[in-house]
């Protein structure tokens, strides 16, 4: 307690652990981008389905399901679709989510890239 009779509280900030950078001069081969147990399927072998889902607040998203390639391929395809539609989104866990209703654009793009794609549900 201080002279006025009030307790003085002291808050300590939590220290953040920094991952730090590690540099190497040797050859490094990374397994990043290679999914365990997943094979890289060609565009012709993939049967992609394009869905429309409604989220809270009246928002809609276009979802592409059925991708069987590596996580790196999924991310690249997701980036291409987001760029095509000019919106944000994400690509994870075998799904690509694009903000807004862009089913027609997405299906046409996927077919032009050699995928077997069609609208489904929603």
Domain ranges of the chain: 44-119
Fold for 44-119, please state it.
Translation Initiation Factor Eif1 (3.30.780)
Beta strand spans in 1-120 (E): 47-54, 60-65, 89-92, 95-99, 116-119
pLDDT at 68 over 70: yes
Question: What value does the mean pLDDT take over residues 44-52?
Answer: 83
Can you state the angle between helices 71-85 and 103-112, rounded to 10 degrees? Answer: 130
**What is the mean pLDDT of the segment spanning 80-84?**
94
Residue 20, Ramachandran bin (φ over 0: left; ψ between -120 and 50: alpha; else beta): left
Residue 56 confidence class, pLDDT cut points 50, 70, 90: confident
Residue that is written with structure tokens 């009779």 in the block: 5
Strands of 60-65's sheet, edge to edge?
89-92, 95-99, 60-65, 47-54, 116-119
Average of per-residue pLDDT across 85-103: 93
């Amino acid at each position: 307690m201080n002279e006025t009779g009030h307790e003085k509280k002291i808050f300590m900030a939590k220290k953040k652990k920094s991952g730090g950078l590690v540099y190497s001069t040797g050859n490094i081969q990374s397994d990043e981008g290679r999914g365990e147990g997943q094979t890289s399927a060609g565009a012709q072998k993939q049967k992609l389905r394009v869905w429309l889902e409604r989220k809270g607040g009246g928002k809609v998203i276009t979802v592409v399901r059925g991708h069987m390639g590596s996580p790196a391929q999924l991310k690249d395809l997701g980036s291409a679709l987001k760029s095509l539609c000019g919106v944000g989104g994400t690509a994870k866990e075998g799904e690509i989510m694009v903000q807004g209703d862009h089913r027609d654009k997405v299906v046409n793009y996927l077919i032009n890239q050699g995928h077997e794609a069609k609208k489904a549900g929603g």
